[in-house]
Amino acid sequence: MTITIAECWIYPLKSAQGIRVDKLELTSRGPINDRLWMLVQDQGAKHGKFISQRDKGCEKLSIVGALPQNDETTKFVLPDGQQISVNNSGLARYDGQVTVHKDTCDALDAGDEAAQFFSNYLNQACRLVRMPDDFIRPTDPKYSRPGDNVGGYADGFSLLATNLASLSKLAEHFPQNTNVTMQEFRPNMVLKGAVPFEEDTIGLARTENGVVLGFTKPCARCSMTTVDQSTGISTSNEPMTTLAKARNGNAEGLGGAFFGQNVILRELGSGIIRVGDEVEILSRREPHPALQNAVLRYDGP
């Protein structure tokens, strides 16, 4: 069966509302306008640490809009309609550095008005920051090549790919009346036409526009997947409970409950991925050892 791109998504503000788009414009740093903005803590020992839906009380970030207006301005919109526009250029250097998991990054500060805007919404002191255009953030060398970079403030890789058939298969194991959508997994691109968990075995793939993608590492999921991205509310521990039973593993320093694959742009320095593009699998690989004993795994075409 032909594999195609079913959906494309960007997330201009890390951990905030996603935007479904017709295409992803890729550079060596990942999709344009993806996770260039981030909120960080502004007090205490965790000063500069990134804020996400994983943090207690911050689940409601999922219903905050971040809307690039043009090359110069981004508009941020709260659920009650309050909004603020921030000019992307001319921002001051952030005082210190910010952290995303184990990575330390440079940042530009969006100013006091934006900080107060989000501090009031989250009921905690925070700053809005943007990644400088000249900052280079390497990917994990264990799963990439020299020169590979992370786009913006993404967790560890520029692209996350998921598979509609994998979610359908996983959903067969959910408790009755459980509703988990693909958006809870916050992918950049969603595959259609692949068999369940086929993404775990793809090495290289090429879209019909000649964009070559390297599938590098299974994505270990976290509590963010339990937050309904349309409401900002978590009502159960699904899909994590099911993933922990059916897609859990630990090997070669990688452990967790896995869904989706981290992806890196290969060969071309830039390119465009469009919804509807056919995807040709150029090479296969063995699933990561952490997935070899998973109950739900790729069983061939």
Give the pLDDT band (50/70/90) at residue 218. very high
Three-state DSSP class for residue 60: helix
Nearest CA to 108 out of 135, 144, 79, 147 is that of 135
Is 90 exceeded by the pLDDT of residue 1?
A: no
Return the pLDDT at 70.
85
Tell me the C-alpha to C-alpha distance, in Å, between residue 154 and each of 14, 36, 37, 94, 179. Answer: 7, 8, 10, 18, 26
Return the pLDDT at 71.
82
Mean pLDDT of 250-265: 96
pLDDT in tens, 6-16: 999 999 999 99
Is 80 exceeded by the pLDDT of residue 268?
A: no
Looking at the chain, the whole-number percentage of residues with pLDDT higher than 90 is 87
Residue 5 near residue 21 (C-beta atoms within 8 A): no
Q: Which sequence spans correspond to the domains of the chain?
A: 3-31+138-291, 37-130
Is 90 exceeded by the pLDDT of residue 151?
A: no
| Whole-prediction pTM | 0.95
Half-sphere exposure of 174 (CA within 13 A, CB side): 18
The single residue listed with the structure tokens 């992918």 is 187
What tokens does 260 get?
A: 């989706």
Mean pLDDT of 163-176: 97
- As a whole number of Å, the end-to-end CA separation of the chain is 9
Helix ranges, the chain (H): 112-122, 164-171, 240-246
**Integer Cα distance of 29 and 59 in angstroms:** 27
In 10 A of CB 120, how many CB atoms? 12
CA 127 vs. chain centroid, Å, equals 21
What tokens does 238 get?
A: 């699904």
Return the pLDDT at 179.
93
Which amino acid does the sequence have at 263? V
Is 90 exceeded by the pLDDT of residue 87?
A: yes
Return the pLDDT at 44.
87
Triad 168, 150, 162: Cα angle to 5°: 5
Residue 18 near residue 11 (C-beta atoms within 8 A): yes
Residue 298 near residue 49 (C-beta atoms within 8 A): no
**Integer Cα distance of 139 and 195 in angstroms:** 28
For domain 3-31+138-291, give the fold.
Answer: M1 Pyruvate Kinase; Domain 3 (2.40.33)
Looking at the chain, the whole-number percentage of residues with pLDDT higher than 70 is 99
* Phi and psi at residue 88, to the nearest 5°: -70, -25
Return the pLDDT at 147.
86
